[in-house]
């Protein structure tokens, strides 16, 4: 009885190696343009900011009944408010006016104050504490 032995196979299976190499090649091809793509911008060279003092802040409050309060002082008439606004508009730098309107005030009073500020030449005016109007 002679048994025939089959020859031993000494080949390496290179299919998984080719798969890994293809994945690495695709990853390189996809990521390479992102790494080399750049936007060239010529940014201006701004001089360093000088020490600028923060502008004066004026609190202008409008109570629920239409009473106007200028930095803690009650303003009796609309003409007095316009005088205060005009003197603030002439200052250099112009002060910031923070308008605090009560949530129950009629819009007519707020509109009168805004119109007076516009006529006086106020450029820096903003509404403060508007978070209470969210609900």
Q: Could you read off the pLDDT of 59-117 as tens digits, one per residue? A: 999 999 999 999 999 999 999 999 999 999 999 889 999 999 998 999 999 999 999 99
Query: Is 66 among the domain residues?
Result: yes
Characterise 121 by phi-psi region: left (phi > 0), alpha (psi -120 to 50), beta (else). left
Determine the average pLDDT of the residues in 48-54: 76
Distance of CA 123 to the CA centre of its chain: 20
Q: What is the largest CA-CA distance in the chain?
A: 128
How confident is the prediction for the chain on average, in pLDDT? Answer: 86
Q: What is the pLDDT of residue 44?
A: 81
**Does position 1 have pLDDT exceeding 70, yes or no?**
no
Domain that holds residue 74: 57-133
Q: What is the CATH number of the domain that holds 129?
A: 3.30.420
Query: Is 18 among the domain residues?
Result: no
Determine the average pLDDT of the residues in 44-73: 87
Query: Is 24 among the domain residues?
Result: no
Q: What is the pLDDT of residue 97?
A: 93
- Cβ–Cβ under 8 Å, residues 84 and 124: no
**What is the number of structural domains in the chain?**
1
């Amino acid at each position: 009885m002679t048994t025939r032995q089959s020859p031993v196979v000494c080949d390496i299976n290179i299919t998984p190696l080719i798969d890994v190499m293809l994945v690495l090649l695709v990853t390189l091809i996809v990521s390479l343009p992102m790494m080399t793509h750049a936007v060239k911008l010529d940014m201006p060279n701004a001089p360093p900011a000088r020490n600028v003092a923060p502008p004066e802040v004026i609190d202008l409050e409008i109570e629920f009944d239409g009473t106007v309060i200028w930095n803690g002082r009650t303003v009796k008439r609309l003409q007095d408010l316009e005088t205060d606004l005009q003197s603030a508009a002439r200052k250099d730098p112009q002060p910031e006016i923070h308008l605090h309107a009560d949530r129950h005030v009629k819009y007519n009073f707020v509109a009168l104050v805004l119109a007076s500020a516009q006529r006086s030449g106020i450029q820096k005016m903003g509404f403060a504490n508007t978070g209470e109007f969210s609900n």
